[in-house]
Structure 1
């Protein structure tokens, strides 16, 4: 099979396009023929050594196939697997987290609990865009102590959500899931183009933080404050978040970039009994992950998590042999979602 691998951390140049043997399937495992692989910031950070390390080049053994997210068709099942049959359409999560079996390959083998049914009518493009962004967004939207543990239609009715960076992949998924669940959604963007994308995703109110006073505008829209903030740049925004959140509200933080330290307005946060909830989808509890997978799959089946320009998430496509260029695009801040076409299924 064709695959992309790296045996040491570093820049995109460490990625090699190679031939490898078709991986065997053990008990409890599923082999999937990958149609589309999704690229996220976590993928290039892991490849570079920046995620959880010093950034210095280190040897990787066994060699690593990158990319956490993907979608495709079940090719083989191991002993004891009853959830799937050969030919089932599926989406994958956490494929390369603490295992070498990412989705930048024609086939990957995973424990069956990391493989999820892809509903009829949901494209492989959507399936490959669900894992990191949508599961992160779901946890952020359910982090409020008095809120639902699993999103569903109507579960956020009466709730106002502020999504910062609504044109990014996590922000886009947060807008879509919050709207699907019945929330009123405010989002911040940095340009007219990104405002158009956020509107296409379904945001009800859009604030350009470069030309508007975010706190004043959000308070005008939600005088009693917002219940949930989905925050991807807390270093820049935490003071504004605390200013606009309601008493007992939650700021759910997904840190996309460095630096790591965040100065928090402690007194203002105490007065409002604010919860700061940091989110990393890999290490959420099994219950939280199961709720997220179930809700995200249901939302996708309902057509609530579509991707492309018309739905607010432009797609940039590469071939499997161009995986290094795909990583470069994400690292360079490509707007929208970067996908790798692996097999024509």
Structure 2
């Protein structure tokens, strides 16, 4: 079978198309015929590594997210799963042969979730990292719900920094599905249009407007949850708009290793800063996140494509390097590898 792998960390050109033996699922595992592989920033960051040029042994198949059809199951797995459409999450984490940039991927059965017939393989491959990260960010607020769904965030206001990004888009969609009032910030009118298509109620261009003033005009008592992509740049704004018992959920570093916080301004409202990394998130959260994202898909509440504020960029498997480079260069939208026909 065809697969992409890298045996040394570095630039996208370390990705190599190879022929691998067909893998067989072991106990508790399933084999998935991959139709789409989703590419996320976490994938190129893992490929680049902390020290480019470091040997990787065994060679790593990249990409955490994907979608396809279960075509074989291992011992102890219900055979009824065979032939089922599924989406995959964390396929490559601590599994060198598990990534989705290949024609067949073997993963633990807990790392696949049902993909309804009304959901495309494109959608399935766009779910894992962005939507699970967004779910975690939206459910860490003091006195807030730990589940998402209709009515769960009613009466609450959510601020999504960078609403045109993949996680920003996911946070907007999940927050709207849960009946929050959603404010988002963007850097251009074009990105503002994408965030509005995703479902944001209010869009603020941070290059043209005073974000804190605009947010306070919309939410005089502050925002309950902030989904933060640029903590170092936005710490002061976040402190100025956070509501009592509010939370700032940080899922990215915006290139900075450190940040400064206005302690008193955050102490008074008893604000929480919650750092979010999908791979090390509490095990107790995972079933809730998977169940809620799956329920949103089943309900038709999650959309992708330009009409949903998330343009799609398709690449064949042999152009995995170009796909990784596009994500690394911050292309707007979702990058997918087309591995099997839709």
What's the TM-score once normalised by structure 1's chain length?
0.97
* C-alpha distance 278-311 of structure 1, shift in aligned 2 (>3 A): same
Measured after TM superposition, the shift of residue 145 of structure 1 is 2.0
Farther off after superposition, 250-259 or 318-327: 250-259
> Which residue does the alignment assign to 1:19?
19
**Equivalent in the alignment of 1:187:** 184
Match of 1:65 among 46, 61, 66: 61
Is the 2:85–2:115 Cα contact (8 Å) retained in structure 1? yes
CA distance in 2: counterparts of 1:223 and 1:278, whole angstroms: 26
Instruction: Report the counterpart of residue 90 of structure 1 in structure 2.
Output: 86
CA contact (8 A) 1:120 1:301 kept: no
Distance 1:189 1:259 in 2: 19
Moved more, 144-153 or 212-221: 144-153
Q: 1:119, CA displacement in angstroms?
A: 1.7
In the alignment, what sits opposite 1:250? 247
Matches within 5 A, 1:180-219: 180-219=177-216
Shift in Å, 1:42? 0.4
Distance 2:80 2:192 in 1: 41
Looking at structure 2, the residues matched to 155 and 224 of structure 1 have their Cα atoms a distance apart, in angstroms, of 19
For residues 84 and 283 of structure 1, do their structure 2 counterparts lie closer, same or farther at Cα, with a shift above 3 Å needed?
A: farther
Q: Which runs of 5+ in 2 are unaligned?
A: none
Aligned to 1:324: 321
CA distance in 2, matches of 1:223, 1:248: 15
Q: In 2, Cα distance between the equivalents of 1:269 and 1:311? A: 34
Unpaired segments of 5 or more residues in structure 1? none
1:2-81 equivalences under 5 Å are 2-49=2-49, 53=50, 55-81=51-77
SS of 1:171's equivalent in the other structure is helix
- Report the secondary structure of 2:284's partner residue: helix
Partner-residue secondary structure (3-state), 1:324:
helix
Aligned length: 341
Contact 1:77 1:84 in 2 (8 A): no
| Root mean square deviation, CA, Å | 1.0
Question: In the alignment, which residue of structure 2 is the partner of 1:111?
Answer: 108
TM-score (normalised: structure 2): 0.98
Q: Is this contact kept in 1: 2:231–2:254, CA < 8 A?
A: no
Task: Determine the C-alpha separation between the residues in 2 that align with 1:57 and 1:84.
Answer: 44
Distance 1:45 1:178 in 2: 28
Q: 1:241 pairs with 225, 238, 242, which one?
A: 238
Paired with 2:131 and 2:79, the residues of 1 have a C-alpha distance of: 22
Note the 1:137-156 alignment, pairs <5 A: 137-156=134-153
Rounded to whole Å, the distance in 2 between the matches of 1:261 and 1:59 is 29
Q: Secondary structure at the match of 1:42?
A: helix
Q: CA deviation at 1:258?
A: 1.8
